[in-house]
Structure 1
Amino acid sequence: MNDILHALFSTEGVIIGTLVPFLFVLTVVVFVHEMGHYLVGRLCGIGVSAFSVGFGPELVGFNDRHGTRWKLCAIPLGGYVKFVGDMNATSSPADSAAIEALSEEERKIAFHTQPIWKRAATVFAGPFFNFLLTVAVFAVLFSLYGRYVLEPTVAAVQPGSPAAEAGIEPGDRFVSVNGEAVESFGDVQRLVSGRSGDKLTFVMKRDGKDVTVTATPKITEETDALGNKIKVAIIGVVTNAEVGEPRQITYSPAGAFVAAVEETGHIIQRTGQFLKRFAVGREDKCQLGGPVKIAGMAEQAAKLGFEWLVQLVALLSVGIGILNLLPIPPLDGGHLMFYVFEAVTRRPLSERVMEMFYRAGFLLVLGFMGFVFWNDLFGC
């Protein structure tokens, strides 16, 4: 019995060691996303019927003075804000008969009777708040801890590597990668790691002169800070403390905010790049995971310390924001696609056509969920 209790409730156990960090990470990301929808919707004068973290049976909840039901539900794999006039939790528009059944007061605050700009702003606010959360996390971390950087100088070149074949030599200093200036060795890693198979142009400073070379990064398996096996692209150069001249950058609050915005932009760019390459079969399917993978990462992050867990929140928040902007109903991007059509044609899609899009979108979303679950359990 003691062994069972230890396995469940110790810091190394399933509940404290894995489930609690997982729920913390996912709940924060979902709550912030839905709060974006809620706050902007309320600012636009839209009524909110329900704010839920999780799906399925309600565990606890209460009604506020505006008539919104705030609740925590049993399945912690998402959440939703249901506005007045929504047919369901995905903000699918009710049919014309249901809209007609609304009272005059309800029509004034119903989501689907609002101007396009209010609906679009409310929908976009969810992913935007996810990006804001990431900026806020990095701003705080940079303010507290600064950033550890190495100079972009080559200490050694791996024999037979793309860098060796390109003629890169120890002592060379990276100036730019594919036209983008670099200031640290981390910048070089960032610009190379997601570009396997792409021919890249490197400008190197050698003996005071600029030398231009080309190299094609190759994929390799490495272990990240959380202990996960990941596949990244490398060209085969390393640095060290002697030539890299490690230093700690400290930031003022304003400087930390600017650096956080830049870092968030880099993450969005890399994620978008990954998704484009994945769509054409140029990325490893095992890089995508679902709840099981997230739970494992949360467990490892919690072992390393709270700041690592918060960083995982920031990274997951960006991913959720980007995925929700994909132009697929019932995701936020799907709604925005409909609003663009409505703005251009000056009329909404017909109920029949919209229902077809929603059904197709649901199948795509369910297929993606099945794919990442399969990866989690059997595929990788």
Structure 2
Amino acid sequence: MNPDLSGLRNSPFVALRTLLDPLEPVKGLKPLALTIGEPQNQPPQFMKDVLQTTDNLYGKYPPVDGTPELREAITGWLNRRYNLKEGMIDPSRHITPVNGTKEALYMLAQIVTNRQGKSGQKPAILIPNPYYHVYHAAAVMAGAEPVFLNATLENNFFPDLETLDEELLERTEAFYLCSPSNPQGTVAGRAYLEKALQLARKHDFMLIMDECYAEIYDKDQPEGILQVLQDLGGDLSNVMAFHSLSKRSSAAGLRSGFIVGEEVTTKTLINLRNFAGAASPLPVCAASAALWNDDSHVIENRKLYQTNIDIAERHLGNRFDFYRPPGGFFLWLNVGNGVEATKKLWTEAAVRVLPGEYLSGTTADGINPGFEYIRVALVFDPDMMDEALSRMANCL
């Protein structure tokens, strides 16, 4: 018996290759790819040193829940970053180190979804639209209905929580929420986070907070869900939050992140990962602990992206509904027709971007909120970004 995969869409990057690979970029210009959120600056040297000095540990099977040192380092960072009271986060009860957050974002939906539904109705998983493609795949494979909630300029690129139908909320099993948002780079404020948490607890669903861009911001440090929870008494019920070293430390290849949240789901996830998850090698755990224990390299990392935003504003600041993204390192530009602009940029400027349509779902009313947009990753050094953004401005 084959599972029903009819609702599973291709990765946006597969769709992009299908669109652009048959087309030739303009001659005489070096092709530049601004499609993937893959930091091009190097992680700090001390990370590499730790990997080298602990390489004898590659011969040992690693524990799926990481090492005590790693969990302590993660807890210490959370306490510093979000000014949490000592003891709110217990490293042995609330932390799950994971081999990259993509796998865990997918796997968590399989845990929290009741396939029979809460009252015999089909379970639903709420997804901001546009969205990170893993959210959609996770919902489909968990047997839930992925429900797209349009996130547009009019609502700060976050779904309107006030208009959600009660019947929908009653069958909701999880709500994926990304702040700073990908691709738009906006930040959910305190009132918004409190409302999302209130709905999760009232209707007993899991609020899955993807905060992997929390350390990449322009001016103001984004508030996190843990700060909201602390101010409400410190109870972690109905919340699982994700963080990663991929963006914070430019260590995407390390495949290291973690989840923090309610104890029951934490333990269930660790149990599932004992059967179906890949544990991080012990040298990776040691290197990750060193990265979470250090904040200075993150400041330098953040300065690079702020410089790139300055360059983008200089080239594009009066066009395409440009705004300085408060968080993350993407531009979300309104070019009228994202697919056509993507083809034009590739064939006439040798710059590869991602159509917003490929990051969005078309809702029942026929609207795709990403149709007019392109996503541009500001991940290269300033000189290369200056070249790429200059080409884009001249081409479009």
User: Relative contact order (alpha carbons < 8 A, sep ≥ 6): 1 or 2 greater?
Assistant: 2
Greater fraction helix: 1
Q: Same fold (TM over 0.5)?
A: no
